[in-house]
Amino acid sequence: MEASARASVVRTAEESGEHKAFWASWFGWGLDAFDNWLYVYSLTAIIAALGISRAQGGSLATASLVCSAIGGIFSGALADRIGRKRMLMISVAWYAVFTALSGVAQNFGELVAFRALQGLGFGGEWAVGSVLISEWAASQHRGRTLGFMQGAWAVGWLVANFAFQVVFALAGPNPGWRYLFFLGILPALLVFYVRREVEDAPVYRETRRAKDDAGDDAFTLAALFSPAIIRTTIFTSVLAIGIQGGYWAIVTWLPGYLSSERHLTALSTGAYFYPLIIGSYLGYVTAGFIHDALGRRPTFLIFAIGSAVFVPLYTFFVQANWQLLVLGPFLGYFASGIHTGFGPYMTELFPSSMRGAGQGFAYNFGRGIAGFGPLVVGILAASHPLGVAISIYAPACYVIAMLALLFLPETRGKELVPLK
């Protein structure tokens, strides 16, 4: 009887810990999206206000994404040493502060610097938050748990879209883009919740104790290139390059495409994003259930094919603007939903002793390389229509992701075990 009561208490504590970790990761990722989309919606106004080229505008996104690779790589490794909770607080506070500071930039050089510094925290949040909730989640529903967490990106996007429409309607594009960045300080409030309510998962705490008992305080990045794990490190990174290369090429330039080639106003552009956002949310959430039902590799393949098909349909073959409203949910569903698998798949591929470093490196190294996509599209757009540039570049990225899957194993249902 006493054993049963103790087991019940343990289960209750674990469920409470999982719920708190989920909401911390959910809000962290949603606010991450909010901050990111503030920049995307501001890009056309920034180009006009600062008198810069499209290639320079694309380089602002590139600076943030490349630095997010650095931030994510080191944040993941530090999370293995000092804990998921602590690094989550640091990452959220960091990107919130530098997003807000972007609003006071007076020239291109200052804005590049602030976007680069913002990227350090931007990369760290996903690397740490996804590991935190993945380690708490039960193996049989890890996919759907991460799916609901990824859905927070669509919610953050929705809030940013609404803020964009309201601020630009009231203040105009200039100085409206500055006011949007000032709103980026709001995510810092999440730090207070994480500090009071969230704890690291038992599998991490046991691994940390085992490493402490063994006197192992090594920085875990080097271990990613050991013979036992280097294949996983390489091909998870290639998978991340392909998926994120396609995504960032699309979303960074989509407002510019809608305004310059579809001739929509700022307010109309925001309205055309709502179908995309609805599709994205459904993609994030349902992809989690599909991952649990079919497995990681088949689900990634389905969503990669769907993304490669719907990108050119949306940015090249569309003839009338009403068709954008029809295709928008499908583009959002596949191009966003494909990201759901990263959290559970990478958590299951890397051992507990280097999980933060592995997930942080693969995802964010991929994002860093993918970060050159907006710059490449901006350069291509100097001699081709913007929709054509996107239609060429993004599908090629999804083909790279499909090839990477050939070299990675299936992990659905894998139990996470601590280091002994």
pLDDT 10s digit of each residue in the chain, 420 long? Answer: 444 434 443 445 456 788 888 998 888 888 888 887 888 788 888 888 888 887 788 788 778 778 888 888 888 888 888 888 899 999 889 988 998 999 999 998 898 899 888 888 877 887 888 888 888 888 888 889 989 998 998 898 888 888 988 998 898 888 899 998 899 888 888 888 888 888 988 888 898 888 877 776 665 678 889 998 999 999 999 999 999 999 988 888 887 788 778 878 766 777 788 899 899 999 999 999 999 999 999 999 999 999 999 999 998 888 888 888 899 999 999 999 999 999 899 999 998 888 888 888 898 888 888 878 888 888 888 888 888 899 999 999 999 999 999 999 999 988 888 866
Its pTM stands at 0.82
* Cα distance between residue 377 and residue 59, in whole Å: 10
Q: Which residue has the tokens 């008992």?
A: 213
Q: 301: exposed, middle or buried (C-beta count within 10 Å: 0-12, 13-18, 19+)?
A: middle
Q: For the chain, what are the domain ranges?
A: 13-196+220-405
For residue 263, what are its two tokens?
């001739």
> What is the model's pLDDT at position 417?
82
DSSP3 helix / strand / coil % (the chain, rounded to 5)? 85, 0, 15
> What is the model's pLDDT at position 172?
87
Q: Collect all residues with Cβ–Cβ distance below 8 Å to 163 and sequence separation of at least 6.
A: 34, 38, 180, 183
* Fold of the 13-196+220-405 domain: Growth Hormone; Chain: A; (1.20.1250)
The length of the chain is 420
